[in-house]
Amino acid sequence: MPALTPHPARRPRRPALIALLAALLPLLATLLATAPPTAARAQAPTAQLTEITGFGSNPSNLQMYLYVPDTVTEHPAVLVAVHYCTGSGPAMHSGTEYASLADRYGFIVVYPSVTRASKCFDVSSPQALRRDGGSDPVGIRSMVDWVTRTYDADPDRVFATGISSGAMMTNVLLGVYPDVFAAGAAFAGVPFGCFATTDGSEWNSACANGTVTRTPQQWGDLVRAAYPGYTGPRPRMQLWHGTEDDVLRYPNFGEEIDQWTDVLGVGRTSAATDSPAAGWTRTRYGGTGDRAPVEAISLQGVGHNLYTWGMADRVLTFFGLDGDGPAPQPQPGGCRVTATTNAWNTGLTASLTLTNTGTAPVQGWRLGFTLPSGQTITGGWGATYAPASGAVTASNASYNGTIAPGASVSVGYQANHGGNSAAPAAFTLNGTACAVR
């Protein structure tokens, strides 16, 4: 059969196509050069409160309001300001000075806003109290992600603050997203998990009345259970509470301190106490400077509506967003670990020597590490180990919780193994990576 020859009308006209492309390419290059960047087209107007829609996953139908100052710093910080019950994002914007402070320091403010009838944030459902479980925390994280993408914001400088229901949500956000938030400031709140309910109710009277009490480790375990296996850095926390609070009663303040000092591994012994204003008692834990791991301010004779103009400046100092604050306090986390194992058929013992290479004493420590596959701890000494396999946290015993600069503590454990008897390869002390040798 003779070869088929294309119909003359269907033959490619290569010279004509090349000429057409040559004419179009300069025009296409001009269009690309003059088109605004995608992120720029999505940015909000500056110096005004703007509602943002379509910002990402939002299972509880929150609204997102955004304030961007006229002058934004390069890779700006992001502050999430969370409103009280019956409030709204616009009310939080007009009732606090975070927008005017953003004008001064160049950060961006996100104001989440509840649409449910109560106008209270969900801090009680099982979905809200676990990472990516659903409800309000997921929507708020989506807001942060949207701002980070759109403005090339600094992911290491994302902060949360809130009042009442917003303070409770601040505790929740720092618990479920410790890898997103660097620090929080909670005005008249309750500990993470204190408001938990299983019957669909948004209100927990026992917690509100200050009758829910736990040990520091029990409170800390609630936070750690929200993101199982997480061993990275934990956000710092600033706590505010009035002694005459009749809505979320004052005992909750002490329970919050117990929780966050345990989570941050700094112990309940105060590092510094002063009175920065009349009737105020400020106590710092784990450090003496403006950015201590935990800072707690008690207001004598003050009720639930404790927030007043000027307090936001102190929040920014704690966050390090005021532009001229001191350098962060040395954290009790500079460390070195020496790890060895002695193995037999299906078992081993491991010896760990933890050295404080920082400049401040370690007051309460948690050593995080991941066991090699197939290993299960059956016993230990010098620390409490949990869980028995996978990502493990070794918590100090009552007699070795303080490690002076340059000093060491030796602990160890016994474990079964399935053939891999190696020591863990990496360690963290209170969330900070240690050198290993």
Whole-angstrom CA distances from 403 to 28, 357, 367 are 65, 10, 13
**Total number of residues shown for the chain:** 437
Angstrom CA distances, 130 to 127, 134, 135, 175, 422, stand at 6, 8, 10, 8, 32
DSSP structure string for 187-242 = ES---TTTT--SSS-S--HHHHTT-----HHHHHHHHHHTSTT--S---EEEEEEE
Which of 216, 177, 174 lies closest to 363, judged by CA?
216
Report the run of H or E that residue 381 belongs to, with start and end. Answer: strand 376-381
Q: Establish whether 164 is a catalytic residue.
A: yes
Q: Of all residues in the chain, what percent carry a pLDDT higher than 90?
A: 73
Pairing assessment for the beta strands 408-416 and 376-381 based on DSSP bridges: antiparallel
Q: Rounded to 5 degrees, what are φ and ψ at 19?
A: -65, -40
Question: 387: cis peptide before it, omega within 30°?
Answer: yes
pLDDT in tens, 186-206: 999 999 999 999 999 999 999
The pLDDT tens digits of the residues spanning 140-198 come to 999 999 999 999 999 999 999 999 999 999 999 999 999 999 999 999 999 999 999 99
- pLDDT at residue 109 tops 90: yes
Please spell the DSSP secondary structure of 113-173, one letter per residue. Answer: E--STT-----SSTTTTSTT-SSHHHHHHHHHHHHHHHHT--TT-EEEEEETHHHHHHHHH
DSSP type of residue 348: E
**Which residue among 88, 164, 298, 421 is the active-site one?**
164
- Asked if residue 252 lies in contact with residue 207, where contact means CB atoms within 8 angstroms, the answer is yes
Query: What is the three-class DSSP state of 310?
Result: coil
Candidate from 88-97, 336-345, 381-390 with smallest mean pLDDT: 381-390
Q: What is the pLDDT of residue 323?
A: 76
pTM: 0.69
Q: Does residue 319 register a pLDDT over 60?
A: yes
